[in-house]
Structure 1
Amino acid sequence: MANEPASFWTQANALLRKNLTFQKRNVKTNVRLIMFPFLLCLLLVLLQRLVDSQLDKAENKCGCECVRREGDTCVEEECGIEHSDLDQVTTCAIPNPPEWSPLLQVPAPQYRAVRTDNFPFNDYPNASCRRNGSCPVTMLFTGTNQSFGEIISGNMIPSSFTAINSSAVMASLAANVAGSASYTENTNFLEPAFFSDQPIYYLQSQCTQNSTFSISFELSAAISREQELVCAEGLRLWRNSASEVNNELYRGYRKSNLEEQIQEIAAGYDFLNSNGRMFNVSIWYNSTYKNDTGSTEIALARIPRSVNLVSDAYLQFLLGPGTKMFFEFVKEMPKPSTPIKFDLASLLGGLFFTWVILQLFPIALTSLVYEKQQRLRIMMKMHGLGDGPYWMISYGYFLALSIVYMLCFVIFGSLIGLNFFTMNDYSIQFVFYFIYINLQIALAFLLASVFSNVKTATVIAYIGVFGTGLLAGFLFQFFVQDTSFPRGWIIVMELYPGFALYRGLYEFSQYSFNGDALGTDGMRWGDLSDSENGMKEVLIIMFVEWILVLSFAYYIDQLLSTGSRKSPLFFFKRFQKKPDSSFRKPSIRRQKSKVFVQMEKPDVTQERERVENLLLEPTINQAIVCDDLRKVYPGRDGNPEKLAVRGLSLALPQGECFGMLGPNGAGKTSFINMMIGLTKPTSGTAFVEGLDIRTHMDGIYTSMGVCPQHDLLWESLTGREHLLFYGRLKNLKGSALTEAVEESLKSVNLFYGGVADKKAGKYSGGMKRRLSVAISLIGDPKVVYMDEPSTGLDPASRNNLWNVVKRAKQDRAIILTTHSMEEAEVLCDRLGIFVDGSLQCIGNPKELKGRYGGTYVFTMTTSVDDEKAVENLVRRLSPNANKIYHISGTQKFELPKEDVKIADVFKAVETAKRSFTVSAWGLADTTLEDVFIKVARAAQPFDTLS
C-alpha cells in the first residue's frame, strides 16, 4: 500500500532497478572501460611476439653443426656445447656439466680493507697499497681459545703454491686456495670467475716476485679461455670477541659507491669453544655477492670453499700438516635444453595491471561524488530511501561491476595465454582480487565524504592511480627486492592499499616469470608459507583494512549523510531510551525582548498561542506543528552570527496549502531545510505527522514529498523512470505504480509526444520543473514542500500546474514558497509573510488585504505643471491620503477606504478635467503585492532585533 512505508527490500528493489536502468544507458562507457585491459593485454602479446622473434634467432640458440650431408642437404645435425659460443651455451642441453675448481669470494684489490680515518684499525695495511694493487685479503678470527685459533687460522692460508698442471688445470688449481672477485650467477654451468676480465687470486701467507701466472683451459672446441692467476697475500687478524668482528664487518660494508669508504673483508670465523676434542665454528660471509636463487644461494655464493678450508685446517691440527680433505670441484646438476625466454607480461605485469585494477577506483568515487554534488542522495533520502538499502545496493552494485570487470580481465588474459594468469593458481587470484576490489570500493565510499565536486574528485583520483603505479614500480619494488631493507617497514608501506595491490601483483609476476624460465609451477597455496613470499601478509592487511575502512566510511556517512552534522557519538543513542515521538508539552521559550513582544502582530501572536494549545491537547488533523523554531548560523571570518529563523510557531492541518512569502534572504529556505532534515534547528522543534524532526526524520521521510528549488534529476534517466523509482520508494507496486506514474505524467503534461521516455537531460527548464513537481506528489505523501514550483514555466504550463496543486492539496498539507503573488493568491489557503527570519503576518489572502491593505490606490497622469492641482484634488477627497509614487506627472496616492466613496472619486475627476488636462487616471483596490511591500517595508527598521 502506498500509504504504508516501503519495506527494506522494497526500497532496495527500487534502487537496484534504477541503477540497472542507469547502467543500461551507459553501455558504451562500460564497453570502453572493459576494452582498456583487453587492449593492454593485446599490446603485451604483440610485444611478447616481437621479443620472441628476436630471441628465436640462431645466435640465441644452442649451436649446431651438420655431421652428415647428402649433396647440399644436411641429413643429420648435432647440437651442443661443443658447437656453441659463450652466448649460446646457456641454452644447450648439458647432460655432463663442467667441473669447476672451488673458489673463495675474494674482494677486488681496490675494495680490500685498509687503514683510513673512517676505518682506524691499526693492524690493517696502509691505504697506499691500493695504488699498486698489493693490498692483502683480510680474514677475521675470534674464539674463546686464542692459541687454538691462531694455530687453526695459520693452517688455513698456505705458504707455498702448488704448480698448475696444464693437463688438469682445474684439479691442480683446487690444490691451492683460489678465489675471485667476480659476482656469481644464478647457475654454475659457466663459473663467472673463468669468463671475466678479472684475474683469479690464490692466497699465500707471503707473495713472492714472479707470482703471476697464466692458465689455459678448453670447455669445448668453440670455447677456450686463458686466465691470469695472481697471488694475494692473506692477512689473519685476531679479535677478542664476535662483537668486535661484527663491528668491523659492518663498518666496512659497501654502503656507498666511494672506493675509499669500502673496506671489504673476505670472511670471518668464530671458533667459539672449539678445542682438540670438539670443533664448533661460525662463519661470516659477504652476502652482497649472492644471487637470490632459493636453496642454492649458499653454494653459489662460494661458501663451500670457506667451510672446507677451516675443516682442513682442523684436520691438520689433529693429524699433521699432510692431512687434507681434497675439495676437487663443484658442478651444476645436468639440465635439458633451455631456450632463452623473456616473459614480458610477467615482467611488466606488476605496474601495468596495477593501473588496470586501480582505474575502477575513480569510477566508483566519481559516481558517489556525483550523487553528492547533485544532491541526489539527499533527494532519495527525503523520499523515503533508508541508509541500509542505499548502502547495500550501492555497494553491491559497484562490487558486481568490479567482479565482472576483473573476470573479463582474467579470462581474456588467460585465453590469449599470458603466463601471469595461467601459471598462478586461479583460486589465489580470485581471493586476492576479491579482497582488493572490496577494499577499493570501501575506500571510494570513505573518500566520497571528502569531495563535493566531481571534477576535483576525478582529477585527484587519476593522479592517485598513475602516481601509485609509478611510485610502486620505481620505488616500492626496490625496497621489496632489497633483502637488507627491514621487513617491518615493508609491511608499514603495504598499509597503503595501492602498495599492497602492487605487492600482490609483483608476487604473481615473479612466480610466473621464474616458473616460465625454470619450467616450474607458478604460485600455489603452499607457497604462501614461504618467508620470502609477501602474498600472505598482503591478504591479511587488505582484509583487515577492508573491514576497518568500510566501518569508518559508514560511520562518516551517518555523521554527514543528511547534510546536518550529528554528534560524533551519535551511535550511543541506540542504547538510550528513545524519546516519545508524539506531541509534547511546549518547552519554556527563551525570554524575548520587550520591544519584540510589542512589535509582534496580533495574528502572529494568535498563531503562537494556537500552537501551544495544540501541543497541550494534540489533535490528529494537524500535519505540521512548528514550536518556536529557531536557526542561527555561527559567525565566520569576523562576521557576526546570522539569525535566519526567529522563533517560528506555525500549525498546518491536512488539506491546507500554506504559502510563504518574503524577500530574498528572509529565511524561507532555511525554514524548509530544517523541515526536510538538511539542517538541524538551533532551538525549538517541529512535528510532522506527530514525529519530531530532531529525532525521527527517517520516519518523516516515508510520508514526505519535496519539490526543491533546483531540479535534482539524473540526466540519463527518463521522466517515466524517475517516477517509477520514486513511486517504488513510496511503496507503489504493480498496476498501482503504473497507473500512478501515467496519471502523474498526464497531470504535468509530460505524457504525450514521447516526452515521458525522453532523457531528463534533454528536457527544457520548464519540463524539468514539472517533473520535479510530479515527483513530489507521487505516492500520496502526507506532507509536501514546494520551493518556487512554477519557476521557468510558461503561462499555460503554470496554469496547468496550479490545477495539479489544487487537486493535490485536498488530502495533504503543502508548504509552498513563491515570489508570484498571483500564484500565492490562487493556490494558498493561508499566507505568511517572512521578513528577516520572523513571521510578520499570517492569514488567508482576503484577510491580509483587508487587514494591511484597507486603502484604494488612486493614480493620475497630467502635465508637470498640474501636479499641484492633482494633489489638492486628492486632499479634498481624503485629508489622510498618502502619496506613494511620483514621477514626471504621474502620481499615486493611498486613500483610506473609510474616508472616500468610489462615486465621489469619479465625480471629482470629471470636475477636474474641466480645469486641466488629465492624460490617464485609475482607482484600484489593494493587491496582495501591495500588502507584501507594505509589510516588508514596515518590518525593515526592526530587522536587527531578536
Structure 2
Amino acid sequence: MADSSNGSSSFWTQGNALLRKNLTFQKRKVKTNIRLISVPFFLCLLLVLLQTVINHELDKPENRCGCICVDAQCHQKNCGIQYSDLDQVSSCPIPNPPEWPPVLQIPAPEYRAVYTDVIPISDLPSESCRRTGSCPVTMLLTGNNKSLGEIFAGNMLKNVFTRDDSDILDNLASNVIMSLKMIQGSESKTEISNFLDPAFFSDLPIYNLQSQCTSNSTFSVDVKETNIIFRQEVRCAQGLRLWRNSSYEVNNELFKGYRKGNIEREINEIVAAYDLQNSNGNNFNISIWYNSTYKNDTGDQPVGLVRVPRSLNLASNAYLQFLQGPGTKMIFEFVKEMPKPETQLRLDVSSLIGTLFFAWVILQLFPVVLASLVYEKQQNLRIMMKMHGLGDGPYWLISYAYFLTISAIYMLCFVVFGSVIGLKFFTLNDYSIQFVFFFIYINLQISLAFLVAAMFSNVKTATVIAYLVVFASGLLGGFLFQFFLEDTSFPRGWLIVLELYPGFALYRGLYEFAQSSFTGNYLGTDGMRWGDLTDSTNGMREVLIIMCFEWLLVLLFAYYVDQVLSSGSGKNPLFFLKKIQKKRPSTFRKSSFQRQDSKVFVQMEKPDVIQEREKVEQLLLEPNINHAIICDNLKKVYPGRDGNPEKFAVRGLSLALPRGECFGMLGPNGAGKTSFISMMIGLTKPTSGAAFVEGLDIRTHMDGIYTSMGVCPQHDLLWETLTGREHLLFYGRLKNLKGSALKQAVEESLKSVNLFYGGVADKHAGKYSGGMKRRLSVAISLIGNPKVVYMDEPSTGLDPASRNNLWNVVKRAKRDRAIILTTHSMEEAEVLCDRLGIFVDGSLQCIGNPKELKARYGGSYVFTMTTSSDHESDVENLAKHLSPNANRIYHISGTQKFELPKHDIRISDVFQAVESAKSRFTVFAWGLADTTLEDVFIKVASGAQAFNVLS
C-alpha cells in the first residue's frame, strides 16, 4: 500500500478520529435514539392525559362548591358552605370564617402523670386511676411567693361547668376546654381547618377542665355550623395543681414524663407548669412550660405554640381575680382564621407522582452508556483502537464528551417537552436550578458507568443488571427513602448517608422539585427558587454538594481502575507513584542476562536456534537500528490452578527481526504462538525476559509502540454498523493521515483487498462475509504505514483467488516494515515468509528460510509408484535396489510411498530403474518428489513432542 504517515498522531488528531467515528456510529442508531426519546415523550403525554381526566372529574358540579339561584332566571347565585356539603368545602369561598373556642391540649387519660418508678413523687395520684380513666390533669406551680401561688392556683379553674344549650359555642368558649386531638392551627391548609376544627368534629371527646368532677359532668351537645349539625361529647377533666419549691424540680419532673418512645410506662405527662418567679400584687412575671412534642396531622409542625394563648389567658385571669376579686375576667372567647376565596380544584399529577417516574426516565440513561462501554470491551474494540495508536487521554475525553452530549440532549428534550405540554414540575421551578441539578447528575451517572463497566465483560449481563438497578432505585426511593424524608424525627445525618447512593440523591432532588411545584401550583405561587436552597427544610443544596463531590471522586477512581485493568496488560496499581520513565537509550540494557534455565536451553536447542540467540545478545550489546523487533529470552508462564501444574506457554524465545522481513511462525495448536503475539502487542505481560520494538521496551513503553504498530487479530474486531470505508478512515486518522493523503490511502487499501468495487466499501461490516471481514482486517493492519505488523492467520476463510490476492498485498507491504505472521498454511508460509520458525510446546525448534529448513530436515526424496496388487513386492524390491535404506511410509491398494535418502541415490538412477521396471510389469503411475515444508513441519513437531513426552 502506498500510503505513508506523517509521524505519530497528536492528542487532538486522535480525539478527532474517535469523535468522527462516534458521530458516524451515532447516525446508524437513529431508530434506537428515537425509542430512547419516546420513553419520556409518552410518559409526559400519559401524565397530561391523566391530568386532563382528573381535572374533568374535579370540574363536575358535584365536586364544586354548591350554589343556588337567587332569581327565577338564575342571573344571580349564592354559593358557599351553607349551600354545599362537607365534601365541597375545599372549593367553597369562606368570606367570614366561623369562630371557634380556643382549646388547651392535654394528655390522654392513660398518659397523665401518676406515681410511678419513673416519677416517684408522693403527691401524684396512684397509677390505679389509669385503669378507670379518672387520672387528673396535673399542673405544676412554683415561684418565690408560695402563698400567692396557692391563691393563683385556686383562681385558675372553676368548680362547676356553666352550661347554656342556647349558645353552645359561647358556652364552650367561656370555660376551659381541652382537646386530645392534635389540630393543625394556623399552619394547616385553610380550606379545612377554618371550617371544621378537628378538636370539635372528631371521634374523641372534648374535655372541660374543673377543680372537681361530679356525676353529671359528662353530656352531649349539638354544634351547628350553617345548616350542618354535629353531635359532640363533653367530659369533665379534674385539674390537679401541685406546688414545687423550685424551677429545677419542675424541669426535672417535666423531662421525666417526656414522651420517649412507644413504652407506655415511660409516658407520664404534665399538661403545663407555671413559674410565678417574683410576682406579687404590684408585679406579674410568669413563665409557662408546655409540651411541644405533639405534631399536627402531617407531622410537619409542632402545635405547642398554638396552645400558648389559652394557657396564658388562664394565668392572666387567675392574676386578675387575685387583684380584683372572682368577678373579674379577661374575655378570650374565640379564635378565627383568615377568609378564603372560592377555589378551583386542581391536582398536579406530575408533581404528585412524577418523582418516581421521572427518576426512571433519567436513570434509563445509565444502562445505555454502560452497554456501549461494555460492548467495546466485549468485542475487544477498545484494545483494537489502543493497538492502533489511540491513547487513553483522547479516548476518555472524547468518549466522556460524547456520552455527556447525548445525555444532555436527552435531558433537554425531556425538560423542553414537559414544559411545552405544561407540566408544572418543569414550568414552576427555576430552570437554572433544574439545569444545574440535571447537569451534575448526568455527569455523575456517566462517571459511574465508566467505573461499573470495568466489572463486566458481557453486554447482556451488564444491561440486565443495570436495568434491575434502575427499577430497584426508583422503587426503593418511592416506597422507602421517601418515608424517611417525610419523617421529621429521622436523623438528618442518616439522610445524608443514604443520599451518598446516587439513586437516592437523584430521588431527593426530584422530590424537592415536586414538593415545590405542587405547593406553588396549589397556592398560586412560584416553585423552587435559588433563595429557597437556604431553607433548612429544603434538601436540594445538600444533594447538589453531595453529587458534585461524588462526580469528581467517581471519575478519578474510574480512570484509576481503567488504567490498572484497562485493555492490554494494564499498569501497576501504584503506577501514579512512579516517576515518568524516559525512553530507553540505544544500548537497550546491560549485557548481563539472567536466565534461570540456560543449561537446559543449551542442551535442547538446535544450532540454528542457538545462533539466533547469540545474534540477539550481540545486537543488544551493539544495537542495529535496522532490526525492528528484538526478543530476548522471552517467557510466559501461566500459574497453575485447581491443582494443575504451571503452563509454560513461551519458553525463553530469542528472535531478531529486521525491517523488510516477514517472519512466519508455524506450530500446532497450543504451541504458544498466540501467547507470543499477545505479549508483543501488549495484551499480556511477559513473565520474564524482554522485547524491544523500534527500540522501545514492551514492558514500559507500549503506548509509544502502539503508534507504529498494526495488528490483524485472529478474530475480526469490527463495528458491525460501520462500513469498510469508515473503518479505514478511522484507523487512518489514528495513524495521522489527513486530507487527500487519507482519502488516497483508504481507496488504495480497499482496492488492494478487493473491497472497493460494487458498493462493498460502503456496506456495513456486519453484513460482510467471513472472507470480506478478514480482508478488511488485513487492510486495517496495514493502513498508515506501521513499522511493525502482526498478522495472526490472515488468510483464514478466504477462497483461493482472494487468498492469492491477499498474498500479493502482504508481499508489497513487507518491503519497508517488519511483519510477524502466524499460519497453518505451508503454502502461505513459503510464498510470504523470508524466514520461518517452528514453534512447539512454547519453544522455538528451528529457524531459517523455507529452503534451508527443507534441506536441513528433509534429506530424502519421496518415491511413489502405483501398480496392480500382484506386483507390490516388485515395487518394494525396486525401492530397496535404489537404496538399501529405503523406508515405506505409505501403502494402500497398490500405491506405495518410500523415503529414499538423498545421499544414497541419483535422480537419473531412479528414472533408469523405473524404465526397466515398466518392461517387467505394468506401472500405472509413479513420481519422485522433494520434501515439502509440510513434511518438515510434521517431522519437527512430532520429534519435539516425542522428546517432551520422554522427558
Using structure 2 for the length normalisation, give the TM-score.
0.92
Post-superposition CA distance 1:827-859 (Å, at most 9, x none)? 001111111111111111001101111111233
Is 1:395 the counterpart of 2:404? The answer is no
Post-superposition CA distance 1:90-111 (Å, at most 9, x none)? 3222222211111123445566
Distance 1:197 1:266 in 2: 23
Paired residues of 2:161 and 2:210 also in contact (CA < 8 A):
no
Question: What is the root-mean-square deviation of aligned Cα atoms in Å?
Answer: 3.0
Partner of 1:702: 707
Per the alignment, in what secondary structure is the counterpart of residue 88 of structure 1? helix
Distance 2:366 2:787 in 1: 41
Per the alignment, in what secondary structure is the counterpart of residue 288 of structure 1? coil
2:714 alignment partner AA: Q
Partner of 2:32: 29
1:79 is displaced (CA, Å) by 1.4
1:32 is displaced (CA, Å) by 1.2
Per the alignment, in what secondary structure is the counterpart of residue 352 of structure 2? helix
Per the alignment, in what secondary structure is the counterpart of residue 194 of structure 1? coil
Match of 1:214 among 190, 212, 220: 220
Match of 1:250 among 249, 256, 259: 259
Match of 1:650 among 637, 652, 655: 655
Per the alignment, in what secondary structure is the counterpart of residue 70 of structure 2? strand
Distance 1:241 1:330 in 2: 30
Q: Which structure 1 residue ranges, 5 or more long, are not aligned?
A: none
Between 1:566-575 and 1:385-394, the stretch displaced more is 566-575
Partner of 1:181: 180
Match of 1:842 among 836, 847, 870: 847
Distance 1:430 1:605 in 2: 69
Match of 2:436 among 431, 436, 439: 431
Post-superposition CA distance 1:596-646 (Å, at most 9, x none)? 312211111111111111111112211111111111111122212211111
The 5 A counterparts of 1:187-586 are 187=189, 188-189=193-194, 190-220=196-226, 222-234=227-239, 240=249, 242-243=251-252, 245-251=254-260, 253-254=261-262, 263=267, 265=269, 267=271, 269=273, 271=275, 278-289=285-296, 291=298, 298=303, 302-309=307-314, 325-574=330-579, 579-580=584-585, 583-586=588-591
Distance 1:876 1:313 in 2: 146
Distance 2:251 2:867 in 1: 118
Match of 1:48 among 28, 42, 51: 51
The 5 A counterparts of 1:439-838 are 439-574=444-579, 579-580=584-585, 583-592=588-597, 594-838=599-843
Post-superposition CA distance 1:157-202 (Å, at most 9, x none)? 6242341334543333123221222342523312112222332111
Partner of 1:163: 162
Compared CA separation, residues 631 and 240, structure 1 to 2 (3 A):
same
Distance 1:364 1:876 in 2: 77
1:564 is displaced (CA, Å) by 1.1
Between 1:225-234 and 1:496-505, the stretch displaced more is 225-234
Paired residues of 1:395 and 1:441 also in contact (CA < 8 A):
yes
1:405 alignment partner AA: Y
Distance 2:159 2:380 in 1: 90
Paired residues of 2:587 and 2:620 also in contact (CA < 8 A):
no
1:78 is displaced (CA, Å) by 1.7
Between 1:651-660 and 1:920-929, the stretch displaced more is 920-929
1:279 alignment partner AA: I
Paired residues of 1:148 and 1:275 also in contact (CA < 8 A):
no
Post-superposition CA distance 1:262-289 (Å, at most 9, x none)? 9573645484977667533442223234
1:549 is displaced (CA, Å) by 0.2
Post-superposition CA distance 1:642-686 (Å, at most 9, x none)? 111111111111111111111111111111111111111111111
Distance 1:836 1:146 in 2: 107
Compared CA separation, residues 835 and 571, structure 1 to 2 (3 A):
same
Per the alignment, in what secondary structure is the counterpart of residue 99 of structure 1? coil
Post-superposition CA distance 1:867-912 (Å, at most 9, x none)? 6655444333323334444556654332211111223334444555
Paired residues of 1:274 and 1:280 also in contact (CA < 8 A):
no
1:113 is displaced (CA, Å) by 6.9
Per the alignment, in what secondary structure is the counterpart of residue 96 of structure 1? coil
Post-superposition CA distance 1:413-471 (Å, at most 9, x none)? 11111110011111110000000000000000000001100000000000000000000
Between 1:584-593 and 1:688-697, the stretch displaced more is 584-593
Per the alignment, in what secondary structure is the counterpart of residue 904 of structure 2? coil
Paired residues of 1:582 and 1:691 also in contact (CA < 8 A):
no
Compared CA separation, residues 428 and 312, structure 1 to 2 (3 A):
farther
Distance 2:238 2:678 in 1: 90
2:362 alignment partner AA: I
1:694 is displaced (CA, Å) by 1.2
1:51 is displaced (CA, Å) by 0.9
Compared CA separation, residues 437 and 120, structure 1 to 2 (3 A):
farther
Post-superposition CA distance 1:325-360 (Å, at most 9, x none)? 443222212222222221111011110100000000
Per the alignment, in what secondary structure is the counterpart of residue 181 of structure 2? coil
Paired residues of 1:162 and 1:175 also in contact (CA < 8 A):
no
Paired residues of 2:113 and 2:257 also in contact (CA < 8 A):
no
Between 1:478-487 and 1:319-328, the stretch displaced more is 319-328
Kindly tell me the number of residue pairs found equivalent between the two proteins.
Answer: 934
Per the alignment, in what secondary structure is the counterpart of residue 287 of structure 1? coil
Paired residues of 2:94 and 2:342 also in contact (CA < 8 A):
yes
Between 1:277-286 and 1:20-29, the stretch displaced more is 277-286
1:319 is displaced (CA, Å) by 7.3
1:80 alignment partner AA: G
Partner of 2:99: 99
Paired residues of 1:290 and 1:301 also in contact (CA < 8 A):
no
Partner of 2:86: 86
Paired residues of 1:215 and 1:229 also in contact (CA < 8 A):
yes
2:105 alignment partner AA: Q
Is 1:74 the counterpart of 2:74? The answer is yes
Per the alignment, in what secondary structure is the counterpart of residue 781 of structure 1? coil
Per the alignment, in what secondary structure is the counterpart of residue 6 of structure 1? coil
1:158 alignment partner AA: L
Compared CA separation, residues 627 and 595, structure 1 to 2 (3 A):
closer
Distance 2:947 2:273 in 1: 96
2:269 alignment partner AA: I
Distance 2:808 2:67 in 1: 96
Compared CA separation, residues 521 and 590, structure 1 to 2 (3 A):
same
Distance 1:119 1:936 in 2: 97
Distance 1:273 1:934 in 2: 115
Between 1:689-698 and 1:195-204, the stretch displaced more is 195-204
Per the alignment, in what secondary structure is the counterpart of residue 779 of structure 1? coil
Match of 2:937 among 905, 912, 932: 932
The 5 A counterparts of 1:894-905 are 894-905=899-910
1:725 is displaced (CA, Å) by 0.6
Distance 1:353 1:11 in 2: 37
1:924 is displaced (CA, Å) by 1.6
Distance 2:894 2:256 in 1: 107
Compared CA separation, residues 533 and 733, structure 1 to 2 (3 A):
same
1:790 is displaced (CA, Å) by 0.4
